Chain A
Amino acid sequence: MADKIKKVSIIVSKGSLDGVYPGLILANGARMEGIEANLFFTFFGMDAIVTKRMGKIKVATVGNPGMHMPSLLGILPGFSAFATSMMMKTMDKLDIPPVPEFVEMVADAGCKLYACKATVDMFKLKKEDFCPQVDSIINVGKFYEISAGGEIIFT
């Protein structure tokens, strides 16, 4: 059998609900298996750790064939909020927490959270804009340094 995975660094680059959850579940699942885990939030994925945005992440209802409905419906006002609330209810039953609680849980589990420097500069964000679980704002070089010796997963 191959060696066990000891460390993962997961990049979250998308800001939709379906863009954010896989990274959080992978990171939390890693910690549950005793695997060291880092989360690196970049581009729109950063919404998941920005205090005033993390609770408002929505399902992408437009341009998402997986929704199994015409995109034209997806543009209706409130549709994304409706689809999100339906999905959140289902997830809550499965004990998958909403994004802010999930971020707290994964941090409590010992996963380290980082924000991407380039995105922070681009969106003119400050350290205070982030939830307290965020360890620091780092550049790509630092990300590779932190990820050394482990697997890197891009989501």
Chain B
Amino acid sequence: MAQKQYGAATVDVDDEGFLADFTQWTREVAAAIARDEGVAELTPAHWKVIEFMQKEFKENGQAPSIRKLNKSGVISTKELYDLFPGGPAKKAAKISGLKKPEGCV
């Protein structure tokens, strides 16, 4: 298992950089992953998405789709793409410490 250093924390990651063990996730780790993914700063809007994704993952065992994020009123699709440019579902899941989303939409 590959490891990655984020500030003071060392975390286990898969070969695409997704956290292997959610218990190693902290807000600091999230912020560090975000910087790696080109999101300079996590704003309250980002945190709202992250918290919803973690809650959904806990309940359903998978990260919510972009459609679900939109329909649940958490964030519009446009804003989501603005917050996590260049691949919102994947990036948000990674920052949230979740597994890579597997759906096609």
Contacts and interface: CB of A to CB of B under 8 A. Distances in A.
A and B are interacting partners: yes
Interface in B57-105: 65-68, 70, 76-78, 81, 85-90, 103-105
A101 B101 CA distance: 21
Contacts of A94: 103, 105
Contact of A108 (B78, B85, B105): B78
Given A25-B104, A29-B105, A109-B77, A34 B66 contact: no
Given A31-B81, A32-B87, A33-B87, 7 more contacts: A32-B105, A34-B85, A94-B103, A95-B105, A96-B104, A108-B78, A109-B81
A101 B68 CA distance: 12
A93 B70 CA distance: 15
Contacts of B87: 32-34
Given A34-B85, A97-B67, A105-B67, A29 B77 contact: no
B67 A32 contact: no
A30 B56 CA distance: 24
A100 interface: no
Interface magnitude class on chain A: 10 to 19
Given A29-B104, A31-B81, A108-B78, A95 B90 contact: no
B105 A25 contact: yes
A82 B104 CA distance: 25
Contacts of B103: 94-95
Contacts, number: 42
A133 B65 CA distance: 21
A110 to B, nearest CB: 6
B86 A108 contact: no
A90 to B, nearest CB: 13
A44 B70 CA distance: 30
A108 B76 contact: yes
Given A34-B86, A97-B67, A110 B81 contact: yes
Given A25-B104, A97-B67, A105-B70, A32 B88 contact: yes
Contacts of A101: 67
Interface string A13-46: 0000000000001001101111000000000000
